[in-house]
Structure 1
Amino acid sequence: MSANVLSSVREALPRLSSSEARVAEAIIAEPTLVVDLTITELAAVCGTSLSTVARFCQTLGYSGYREFRMEVASAVSREAAERDRFGLANADIDPDDSAADVIAKIAFHEVLAIEQTAEGLDTTVLDAVVDAIVAGAHVDLYGFGSSGLTAQDLQQKLARIGISAFCSVDVHLALVSAALRRPGDVAIGISHSGLTAETNHALEVAREAGATTVAITNSPESPVAEAADFVLTTHARESSYRMGAMSSRIAQLAVVDFLFVRVAQRRGDAVAEPLQRTFEVTARHRVPQRRKQA
């Protein structure tokens, strides 16, 4: 079960029945319904039965509606406190918001995505991925669209400490590289939705070739996650003005940083030389600063 109950509701959607999904969608749209309504009232609002609501709660790992309701109340309270910290009455961006409002709301969503991702990340899985990278000969990274930026960021970080890593936004090149993986290699697919066909295909090809496969996704029940031996889950919320696309990238980059620092820790002194060498060779391409005249 996710560290945040509202994240658990979103993640559960793909495996819910149609009647349970109506309950989930109502709660995602307005979490305070659970706080304000009895199980009978919530069932009526969702156009379903008491047994469906109870079954929905149990699907998420709760003993019943009472336990689920307490968890939702706690989550709603924590989020309200976060909004207060940013001086927000609500977190959705409106067309008539000022620049200051937009900045505060985007900052709120991005901070929330990082905090919930960090809170919900399985450190045992994280370290298992780190072990595979450190012990492996090569790392492939697959990501397309905004997730491609995250894949390129991790490729650059790993390359800077001397780890063989490949990333291409060309799906044909990604598939060619995936097909050439072998046991001991690691293949990491990054997809917010977990539904990106190109990422899923590349991961499946790499797995068939014998690589250890990893998914970084917001949807642990998705096809991309199913193609992975290890899943690192982000927690970024969809909203208006493509907020999901923005906060998802921030959450992904946070996971990349967690992963990279753990790899660097594990490699110890071996990272110092390649970092220094890559710093020196790129330093030649920096524009020299002009000294101010007295």
Structure 2
Amino acid sequence: MSSKLKETFYGVPGVATPPAPAALMAKVRTLAPSMTRSMQRVAETVAADPAGCAALTVTGLAERTGTSEATVVRASRLLGYPGYRDLRLALAALAAHQAAGHAPAVTADITVDDPIADVVAKLAQEEQQCLADTAATLDTGQLDAAVAALVAARRTDVYGVGASSLVGQDLAQKLLRIGLIAHAHTDPHLAVTNAVQLRPGDVAIAITHSGRTTDVIEPLRTAFDRGATTVAITGHPDGEVTQYADLVLTTSTARESELRPAAMSSRTSQLLVVDCLFIGVAQHTYETAAPALSASYEALAHRHNPRPAR
């Protein structure tokens, strides 16, 4: 895990602000899969019963979850709180929020027998939850820094394979349309070859939900070694990819199921992060971005509606 990520999730004073109580559920959904089993029990227990857990001491919660006090503290820090006391305060606030009638969203799996209307409703609910979780857990400080790096970059390389390659291509074409130099690489060999040409002032972005896709990690590591600013967009902030990332943007995902693998559900939150990056860059470069966008729209409109031949 990168030092910046440790600062974000381990509560280093003056660096990261603990997440708001409403973001706690999103943190649990996003981070629980990458926790140890004992820490998962702590995270899942506090999410299931925030009011009851808020009344427990660290010893009491350790006994309830069959873990140790040290595990409770580590879980608290991984969820973004400096210590268990801060987590208890967030749990109390969350319990009050729920008592006021704001019940947490409940997701439902899609089955082979579901009518198409139910499939639409369930997918819409999952997508909404995925976007809400990503927005709640996204570190805006890291996002700001990534935007600033993109604005100043000589060029930007984006790496992704499979479903993530589609997201990478989306980001690259967005940046190109506002006049920036950006390339999306889906071939791992070409990605590494191009990464060798990067230098300080350039940006390399790796998109991998699992955080352990070798074909994405290798070019990012090469870019990191060359001094480029490196960014990881991942659903697993403890994944190997973050070892070579100066900045980490964490995404959420709907629950994986037999009919809906993680590659499908993760793309929604990845696209949200891409849109946030693009809008941030466009805001900072508005004087050049706006005319570039207009020119691209005009060129596309002319292509689809060519002037009649004389």
The TM-score, its normalising length taken from structure 1, stands at 0.80
How big is each residue's C-alpha offset from its partner over 1:201-260, in whole Å with a ceiling of 9 and x where there is no partner? 111100111110011112222211221111112122323232633331111111111111
| Structure 2 residue corresponding to 1:133, chosen from 126, 138, 150 | 150
Shift of 1:161: 0.9
CA distance in structure 2 between the partners assigned to 1:41 and 1:93 by the alignment = 37
Matches within 5 A, 1:137-286: 137-240=154-257, 241-242=259-260, 244-286=262-304
Separation in 2, partners of 1:77, 1:194: 37
**CA contact 2:204–2:230 (8 Å) conserved in 1:** yes
Equivalent-residue separation in structure 2 for 1:82 and 1:21 (angstroms): 19
- Residues in 1 aligned to 2:239 and 2:229: alpha-carbon distance in whole angstroms: 18
Residue of structure 2 equivalent to 1:114? 131
Structure 1: tracts of 5 or more residues without a match: 84-88, 289-294
1:32 pairs with 2:54 = no
User: Matched residues in 2 for 1:57 and 1:78: separation?
Assistant: 27
Work out whether residues 6 and 72 of structure 1, in 8 Å CA contact, stay in contact via their aligned partners in 2.
no
Query: Does 134-143 or 48-57 show the bigger shift?
Result: 48-57
- Structure 1's 155 and 32: CA in aligned 2 closer, same or farther, altered over 3 A? same
**Matched residue type, 1:265:** Q
Q: Is the 8 A contact 1:14 1:221 kept in 2?
A: no
- Give the Cα–Cα distance (whole angstroms) in 2 for the partners of residues 78 and 219 of structure 1: 32
**Range 242-251 or range 256-265, more displaced:** 242-251
Q: Distance in 2 between matches of 1:93 and 1:114?
A: 19
Equivalent residue number for residue 8 of structure 1: 27
Q: 1:261 to 1:200 in 2, by over 3 A?
A: same
Cα distance in structure 2, aligned partners of 1:110 and 1:75? 23
Question: For the structure 1 residues 274 and 68, does the alpha-carbon distance in structure 2 shift closer, same or farther, using more than 3 Å as the test?
Answer: closer
Identity of aligned residues (%): 40
Deviation, 1:176, is: 0.8
Please tell me whether the aligned partners of residues 61 and 72 of structure 2 are also in contact (alpha carbons under 8 angstroms): no
Any unmatched runs of 5+ in structure 2? 1-17
The 1:43–1:79 alpha-carbon spacing in structure 2 relative to 1, beyond 3 Å, is farther
Candidates 106, 127, 140, aligned match of 1:123: 140
User: Distance in 2 between the 1:100 and 1:36 partners?
Assistant: 37
- 2:39 alignment partner, one of 20, 25, 32: 20
Instruction: Output the CA distance in 2 between the equivalents of 1:114 and 1:143.
Output: 20
Deviates more, 1:49-58 or 1:149-158: 49-58
Give the match's secondary structure for 1:264.
helix
Distance 1:50 1:69, change over 3 A: farther
Task: From the superposition, tell whether residues 78 and 215 of structure 1 become closer, same or farther in structure 2 (CA, over 3 Å).
Answer: farther
C-alpha distance 69-266 of structure 1, shift in aligned 2 (>3 A): closer
SS in structure 2 opposite 1:148? helix
Q: How many residues align?
A: 279
Q: TM (normalized to structure 2)?
A: 0.76
Hey, what does 1:70 align to over in structure 2? 92
Tell me the SS of whatever aligns to 1:141.
strand
Contact 2:256–2:265 (CA under 8 A) maintained in structure 1 = no
Name the aligned partner's letter for residue 197 of structure 1. T
Q: How does 1:52-71 map to 2 (within 5 A)?
A: 54-59=72-77, 60=79, 61=81, 62-63=83-84, 66-67=88-89, 69-70=91-92
Moved more, 268-277 or 71-80: 71-80
SS in 1 for 2:272: helix
CA distance in 2, matches of 1:22, 1:73: 19
Distance 1:82 1:69, change over 3 A: closer
Q: Does structure 2 retain, via aligned residues, the 8 Å contact 1:238–1:245?
A: no
What is the deviation of 1:286? 2.2
2-side partners of 1:172 and 1:76: how far apart? Answer: 51
* Letter of the structure 2 residue corresponding to residue 187 of structure 1: A
Which shifted more, 143-152 or 267-276? Answer: 267-276
Judge conservation of contact 1:186–1:211 (CA < 8 Å) in 2. Answer: yes
